[in-house]
Amino acid sequence: MKDHDLSFDEFDEINNPRPEECDFDRVVESAISRRGFLSVLAVGTATFLTGTSALTGRADAAADRFGFAQVAANGNDDITLPQGFTSSPVVNWGDPLWSDAPEFDWSVRGTAEQQKMAFGDNNDGMSIMTVGDKTVLVINQEYTNRDIANAHRESKLPETDDDVLKGMLAHGVTIVEIAETDSGWGVVKDSPLNRRITPQTEMDITGPAAGHDLLKTAADATGTKTLGTWNNCANGETPWGTYLACEENFNGYFRSADKDMEVPAALKRYGVGVDDWGYAWAQIDDRFDISKTPNEPNRAGYVVEIDPSDPTSTPKKRTALGRFKHENADVVINKDGKVVVYMGDDERGEFLYRYVSNGVYSAGGSTDDLLVDGTLYAAVFSDDGRGKWAELSEAATGMSAAEIAVHSRIAGSKVGATTMDRPEWVTSNPNKAEVYVALTNNKNRGIKPNKGGDETPVGGPNPRAENKYGQIVRWMPDNEDHTAEGFDWNIFVLAGNPAVHSDDKAGTPNVNAGNMFNSPDGIAFDSKGILWIQTDGNYKNEGDFEGHGNNQMLAADPETGEIRRFLVGPVSCEITGLSFSPDRKTMFVGVQHPGEKGFASHWPFGGDTVPRSGVVAIKRDDGGVIG
Ligand code: FEO
Ligand code: CA
Ligand code: CA
Ligand code: CA
């Protein structure tokens, strides 16, 4: 397998192996605490046996809360939806955003000049936002499928400087006005709101790390100005109309011309090493060569706040929200007005975080400091269904505020934060003080420590060794106060395969042969309080995953625990990104990396075309509200 066929985690695993030493006895002791595991399950078998449709997948579509009948798992190179729903393409990788931009060139999969003015690759988190009377899609372009974008090169990797720049410019964020016409939703070319934000866009660094020596480089002696954002995974939205783009696997773009360089431990914790991931950005920009610019990796791994209403605005990196492999940023306005942001760090054995602002939000008031001035916490779960937020304070960590902001993982280790099964999206229930996190999977659970050497014992919210399927965990803050120290927690669903396994790999009772899935990743509530689950998992449909089919999207009822499959994506894609039109009659869903790893996909254009990630608009055939 070539490096570019590996997942981010697999690459890190090979290039930055974790410490070997692990207190295995303690791990095993914890693993066998099955009573503890059962006691924290959210809902007992009895609850599920009363809901026949949850077990059989049959449903009276009109009469229940979901409003659709479950679709079957499949391996089709298409989008499958329930009867009564239709999808149409909105925008795909390489689509021009301005009328003077060239069309996508299928033969070379675009050029740098063309990509600069076009929708980027591998769209991920997104928000439909309203600016005046315009509807705007703001969307992350997480990374590139190197073997697809460079399929005309023998190496299937970027070779020329233009190839490298094309790949670089396919990253970042796209802001594009969209509109619905008789032919469906589509791009409004030349809208004054259209903007590409790339790894070359100037940004401000704000918060406790701004101006610190760790962030200074030859090009920026102030440590307050940086260029660009990349590997933007999922997202967040603020009530003051800004978009949050979250930098995830920022490490895979750095390399060192000096292969014997001793990489500092603080960079190793984030997987920065002497080899990049096949992007070759150092070939055109010394910033990505850590032997020349050792502080540049400290300037990535943040949440970036973007104002889509002003195309001339400078995006702001919010170091107060910590530096790690950010998945998304779920913003909650607490009952006292404080801004609370829940965030996951998606790597095996890393932590779940909470940010609490010092100031309070009021509509129309200043929001300048709300993501600048505040406190970061990491979650500590107990096996008894309780948990607490450990403050990443100078006293608790022995680190300065700037060091905590830059080396947040190290700070989390110092307070004994719970090592998690890869925290992906976090989302809060709009109807109650209750927050959900998708823990996607973790083959190292109970086997290996995290990159900082913290053990990964089996138990609590991570109850299965070598976790193949993932789970969704939820917590309820004490006194319905999102700033409270303590919380209760339980497991909403353990994904699994009850057709293959009868032990805990079968999953919780709300998983059955009709609705099974693996690797929950994107999770988000709609306005009705339905929890939508998007998967980024094993799509080989064999062995442990037989019957799971392609990656998919499901709907879950947070009250009953019932889960029903709504959508199946095309071959080898991941389903990620969810938002709704202002009238809630259109659901926008993202399809990422169809055709990755050499699987044959021609989505969405068919024939023998190159697969191209994109966004689809889903509507009810009766024109009704969808979410
Ligand atoms: Fe970019 Fe953790 O998914
Ligand atoms: Ca994800
Ligand atoms: Ca994922
Ligand atoms: Ca992905």
Ligand (nearest to CA of 326): 1
Read off the pLDDT band of 420 (50, 70, 90).
very high
- Output the pLDDT for position 46: 34
Q: What three-state secondary structure class fits 161?
A: helix
| Residue 587: burial class (beta carbons within 10 Å; 0-12, 13-18, 19+) | buried
Specify which residues 255 forms β-bridges with: 289
pLDDT above 60 (res 265):
yes
Average pLDDT over residues 430-441: 98
Q: Which residues surround ligand 4, an ion (CB under 5 A)?
A: 574
pLDDT of residue 7: 66
Tell me the ligand closest to 592's alpha carbon.
4
> Residues lining ligand 1, CB < 6 A?
124, 142, 233, 248, 327, 346, 424, 521
Those residues whose C-beta lies under 8 Å from the C-beta of residue 591, and which sit 6 or more positions away, are 79, 123, 569, 570, 573, 574, 575, 603, 604, 613, 614, 615, 616
Conformation bin of residue 167: beta by default, left when phi > 0, alpha when psi is -120 to 50: alpha
Half-sphere exposure of 208 (CA within 13 A, CB side): 22
Nearest CA to ligand 1 atom 1: 233
* pLDDT exceeds 80 at position 273: yes
Q: How far is CA 586 from CA 61, 180, 581, 618, 627, in A?
A: 19, 10, 5, 6, 8
The alpha carbon of residue 7 and the mean position of all alpha carbons in its chain are separated, in whole angstroms, by 14
Ligand with smallest separation from the Cα of 574: 4
DSSP 303-357: EEEE-TT-TTPPPEEEGGG--S-EEEEEEEE-TTSEEEEEEEE-SBT--EEEEEE
- pLDDT of res. 230: 98
Please report the atom of ligand 1 found closest to the CA of residue 233. 1
Atom nearest to 327 CA in ligand 1:
2
Q: How many whole angstroms from 518 Cα to the centroid of ligand 2?
A: 13
- What is the C-alpha separation between 481 and 460, in angstroms, rounded? 23
pLDDT in tens, 326-368: 999 999 999 999 999 999 999 999 999 999 999 999 999 999 9
Averaged pLDDT for residues 565-569: 98
Which of these ranges, 28-42, 349-363, 467-481, has the smallest mean pLDDT? Answer: 28-42
Q: Which of 62-76, 89-103, 190-204, 502-516 has the lowest mean pLDDT?
A: 62-76
Q: Is the predicted pLDDT of residue 281 greater than 60, yes or no?
A: yes
Is residue 625 within 8 Å of 101, Cβ to Cβ? no
> For residues 237 and 223, what is the distance between their CA atoms, to the nearest angstrom?
26
Q: What is the pLDDT of residues 600-618, one digit of tens each?
A: 999 999 999 999 999 999 9
DSSP assignment, residue 17? Answer: P
pLDDT tens across 215-247, in order?
999 999 999 999 999 999 999 999 999 999 999
Ligand 1 atom nearest 440 alpha carbon: 2
Q: Ligand 4 centroid vs 6 CA: distance in angstroms?
A: 12
Closest among 108, 60, 58, 147 to 513, alpha carbons compared: 58
Please tell me the distance from the alpha carbon of residue 308 to that of residue 190, in angstroms, as a whole number. Answer: 15
| Band of residue 6 on the pLDDT scale cut at 50, 70, 90 | low
Burial class (CB in 10 A: 0-12, 13-18, 19+), 109: buried
The CA distance from 52 to 279, in Å, is 50
446 pLDDT above the threshold of 70:
yes
Q: Which ligand is closest in space to the CA of residue 325? A: 1
Residue position matching structure tokens 């102030």 = 222
Q: What is the pLDDT of residue 14?
A: 65
* Å from CA of 360 to ligand 1 middle: 30
CA of 141 to the centre of ligand 4 (A): 10
For residue 51, pLDDT over 50 is answered with no
- Nearest alpha carbon to residue 590 among 87, 175, 241: 87
Residue 64 binned pLDDT confidence (cut-offs 50, 70, 90): confident
Quote the mean pLDDT of the chain.
93
Query: Can you tell me the distance from the alpha carbon of 134 to that of 309, in angstroms, rounded to the nearest whole number?
Result: 10
Q: Which atom of ligand 1 is nearest to the CA of 344?
A: 2
C-alpha 427 – ligand 2 centre gap (Å):
13
pLDDT over 90 (residue 34)? no
Under 8 Å between Cβ of 576 and 592: yes
What pLDDT digit, counting tens, does each position of 190-220 carry? Answer: 999 999 999 999 999 999 999 999 999 999 9
Number of the ligand closest to the Cα of 123: 4
What residues flank ion ligand 2 with Cβ within 5 A? 424, 521
- On the question of pLDDT at 461 being above 60, the answer is yes
Q: Of residues 292 and 16, which shows the higher confidence score?
A: 292
| pLDDT computed for residue 11 by the predictor | 66
State the closest ligand 1 atom to the C-alpha of 346, by its place in the atom list counted from 1: 2
Taking the centre of ligand 2 as the mean of its atom positions, its distance from the CA of residue 295, in whole angstroms, is 27
Residues whose CB falls within 8 Å of the CB of residue 227, separated by 6 or more in sequence, listed in order:
199, 200, 201, 202, 203, 287
Strands 563-568 and 574-580: unpaired
- Which ligand 1 atom is at minimum distance from the Cα of 234? 1
Residue 103 Cα to ligand 2 midpoint, Å, equals 29
pLDDT score recorded for residue 20: 43
Assess whether pLDDT exceeds 60 at residue 435: yes
- Element containing residue 471 per DSSP (H, E): strand 471-477
What is the CA(122)–ligand 2 centre distance, in A? 11
Atom of ligand 1 nearest to the CA of 422: 2
Q: Can you give the pLDDT at residue 41?
A: 56
2 pLDDT above the threshold of 90: no
CB distance 242 to 307 below 8 Å: yes
- Distances in whole angstroms, Cα of residue 455 to Cα of each of 155, 224, 231, 446, 452: 39, 36, 27, 8, 9
In contact, 376 and 354? CB cutoff 8 Å = yes
Distance of CA 276 to the CA centre of its chain: 21
> Ligand 3 centre from 589 Cα, in Å?
16
Confidence of residue 40 (pLDDT cuts 50, 70, 90): low
Summarised one tens digit per residue, pLDDT across range 476-528 is: 999 999 999 999 999 999 999 999 999 999 999 999 999 999 999 999 999 99
